Amino acid sequence: MKAAFQIGNNASTRWLHPGAWWVWALGLATAASRTLNPLLLVLIIVVAALVVHARKPDAPWARSFIFFVKLGIAIIVIRVMVQVLFGAAIGETTLFNLPSVTLPEWMAGVRLGGPVTLESILMAFYDGLRLATIIICIGAANSLASPSRLLKSVPAALYEIGVSVVVALTFTPKLVADVSRVQAARHLRGRVTRGPRAIAGAAMPVLEGALEGSITLAAAMDSRGYGRRNDMGVKAQRTTSTLLAVGLIAACIGTYGLVAATSPMLLSAPMLIIGVGASLVAITRSAQSAVRTRYRPDPWWIPEWLVAIAGIFIAGTFIISMWISPLAMETQVDPAMWPALPLLPLIGLVIAATPVLTAPPIPRTYGESPHITPQPFEVAA
């Protein structure tokens, strides 16, 4: 049993910084958002799946990739169904005819059914595939990046909230265990243990126990020095407040600029981004008054750079291809044409798959957020 928990001291196995996985996955997603070429989209999914397969840890959250793939398939199916049901037909190649129904006036007189063409289905399929690919890339990040490690890397300003999320993550499986214990206790009192009434009966003792536990936890945190901070100078505080106020006002103006008619370019998106940036600087500054350090933060070494750059690289190649050969990136549907396979995005795809090699293999054990499979009716170990 003990050996199963030993982490090999082998330096080549370690956890990649979760931030690197997110940069890589978002790069893939950005690339996907730039194209309607089904071949490229499918290849992006293949790359994501390869890397997930190679570097996915054995933890409950890591199984979410499959869930995201299913979600992606559902998106495609729904998109095509919507097209078949509601879509105005484009193109000439009619596949079949659906009986046509017009909804009543209060439903805006939408017309359902009618002729279904190959062209419109292809268009819907490509469109759905693109959104599905973006979703699947995000699923890859969910599977590869450990949430508890991500929390270790939250910026200092969000440390406290990070702690409460860690508490939430560790408490959730405890609660599940508590529920089965209380269910067992209900059995001991000769009460029903299944059905909504049992759940309701078990809910209160579990909730009360958890809330009581939270006070004990708070006392322990307080006794261990949580929340120590130095006094910030009055002047520094004033600067921070001003920066925050200016930033937030700028963000509001920028937002207004986005939706208002004909506002000067500078007053919209750039203003919003500057405003948000200033607010972030403000909270980072005020977080500096806390005395806190990090124990063994996840390092950002060469493999992290390689993985992150692979993601940025593929996004770059797709964006550039969009400029230089937009036709190859947007597959023509009317008339339907076989998609092209442009070279530059292909190079991008190959690079994007490199984390299979460059990311270090993960340790074969769990140094991971706890997960338990509660025994039914666990009264005690």
**Which residues in the 76-135 window bind other proteins by CB under 8 A?**
79, 82-83, 86-88, 107-111, 123-124, 127, 131, 135
Which positions from 135 through 164 interact with other proteins, judged by CB under 8 A? 135, 138-139, 141-143, 147-148, 150-151, 157-161, 163-164
**Identified binder of other proteins from the candidate list 73, 74, 95, 269, rule CB under 8 A:** 269
Nearest distance, CB of residue 352 and other proteins, angstroms: 20
9 binds other proteins (CB under 8 A): no
Letter for the amino acid at 84? Answer: V
Nearest distance, CB of residue 277 and other proteins, angstroms: 9
**Identified binder of other proteins from the candidate list 49, 175, 198, 312, rule CB under 8 A:** 175
Show the CA angle centred on residue 248, arms to residues 244 and 249, nearest 5°.
115
Residues 10-49, one symbol each (x = binds other proteins by CB under 8 A, - = not), give -----------------------x----------------
Nearest distance, CB of residue 215 and other proteins, angstroms: 5
Q: How many residues bind other proteins (CB under 8 A)?
A: 142
**Identified binder of other proteins from the candidate list 182, 314, 329, 351, rule CB under 8 A:** 182
**Identified binder of other proteins from the candidate list 49, 54, 165, 340, rule CB under 8 A:** 165
Q: Which is nearer to other proteins, 146 or 321 (CB)?
A: 146
Nearest distance, CB of residue 339 and other proteins, angstroms: 19
**Identified binder of other proteins from the candidate list 39, 49, 198, 248, rule CB under 8 A:** 248
Nearest distance, CB of residue 77 and other proteins, angstroms: 13
